[in-house]
A and B are shown apart, each in its own frame.
Chain A
Amino acid sequence: MPINPELQGRVYPTTPSYLVGREKIREFSRAVFSTNALNFDVAAAQQAGYADVVAPPTFAIVLQELTLAQLLADEDAGIELSHVVHGDQRFTQTRPIVAGDELTATMTIASVKTLGGNAMITSESRIEDASGQHVVTSTSTLVVRGDS
């Protein structure tokens, strides 16, 4: 199934609000082998000027996954999960994510390129807090193998 070239520029609906939990941050931090006190210790985080424990930089992928699910569920896009490989990933942050944040993510398909039999899809998910301020933009390039 070919990738729909008209995907480029498409903006998907903003995701419902995601409340970042303190224990979720601790769980994620343990999973990425963090030893940083700001990820675990509320008092240490507050002493450093944060309202609560701080998420590691790659935590934003949890929010981006919610938007990528929209892309994979879009029948019009023509993407089959079993053919998808993660090519590259980038996080551009204004501030770290903190427990208690209520975040939304809005995905734009920045580019669709075909290279050989493969398609490369770059999706940019802009993550904002409840006041509409930018927190982080999470950008993924997915390589979709065309061997179907």
Chain B
Amino acid sequence: MSGGGGTGTAASAGEGVRSAPRSENRFAELSVGDVVAEREFSLTRDSLVRYAGASGDFNTIHYRDDIAKSVGLDGVLAHGMLTMGLAVQPVLDWLGDPALIDDYQVRFTRPVYVDAETGATVSVVAKVGQVDAELGTARIDLVVTFNDQTVLGKAQVRVRAAK
């Protein structure tokens, strides 16, 4: 489920996709602190190469240890935008439709180092930070960790119950 950067894992979309109920009162049962979704992602160097190609971000610190170290990093790290991109996926699986996201923001606080042999595991827990059932809006807060430390700050998704 977590992909692992191998070919075709995510292409078999459909499995793991929950169809979202389309009710106006969908957020009525939500309370602040509820976990709406969680997922673990196994990143490898392949994942970084794949993201570089897909996004067009070919910054060398994402595939060359020597260059990463020359600018004071421990080694190759994941693109911040890769971490941001995957962190919202559990929320999308929960919501069903990307149109229900109004706003998504993060602060990049710590690097995700991706070891050449062992990779890196990034965990995402999506919790309700705020909810207005009447308006049908909520703020989902993402807790994104690597090696037991959070790597994103103020990671918030503003969502709607219906279009």
B: interface residue count bin: 35 or more
A35-B105 in contact (CB<8A): no
Q: B-contacting residues of A (Cβ < 8 Å)?
A: 24, 26-41, 44, 48, 54-58, 61-62, 65, 82, 85-93, 95-96
A91-B92 in contact (CB<8A): no
B124 CB to nearest A CB, Å:
10
Q: Give bound CA distance, A124 to B47, whole Å.
A: 28
Top 6 A-B pairs, shortest CB-CB distance: A32-B85, A31-B54, A90-B105, A58-B85, A88-B107, A96-B98
B72 CB to nearest A CB, Å:
10
A38-B97 in contact (CB<8A): yes
A34-B92 in contact (CB<8A): yes
26 contacts between A and B (CB under 8 A): A24-B54, A29-B10, A30-B54, A31-B47, A31-B53, A32-B54, A33-B41, A33-B85, A36-B17, A36-B89, A36-B98, A37-B14, A38-B98, A40-B10, A40-B11, A44-B14, A56-B88, A56-B92, A57-B101, A57-B104, A62-B55, A65-B57, A86-B80, A87-B107, A88-B106, A93-B102
Q: Which residues of B contact A37 (CB under 8 A)?
A: 13-14, 17
A91-B10 in contact (CB<8A): no
A58 CB to nearest B CB, Å:
4
Question: Interface on chain A toward B: helix, strand, loop, or mixed SS?
Answer: mixed
Q: B57-86: which residues lie under 8 A (CB-CB) from chain A? A: 57, 71, 80-82, 84-86
Q: Give bound CA distance, A20 to B86, whole Å.
A: 20
Q: Give bound CA distance, A54 to B89, whole Å.
A: 13
Q: Which residues of B contact A32 (CB under 8 A)?
A: 51, 54, 82, 85-86, 89
Q: Which residues of B contact A58 (CB under 8 A)?
A: 81, 84-85, 88, 104
A90-B14 in contact (CB<8A): no
Q: Give bound CA distance, A61 to B80, whole Å.
A: 11
Q: A30-B54, A89-B84 are in contact. Are A36 and B13 (CB under 8 A)?
A: yes
B23 CB to nearest A CB, Å:
16
| Interface presence of B134 (CB below 8 A) | no
Looking across the interface, which residue of chain B has its beta carbon closest to that of A56? B85
Q: Which residues of B contact A56 (CB under 8 A)?
A: 85, 88-89, 92, 98
B1-A35 in contact (CB<8A): yes
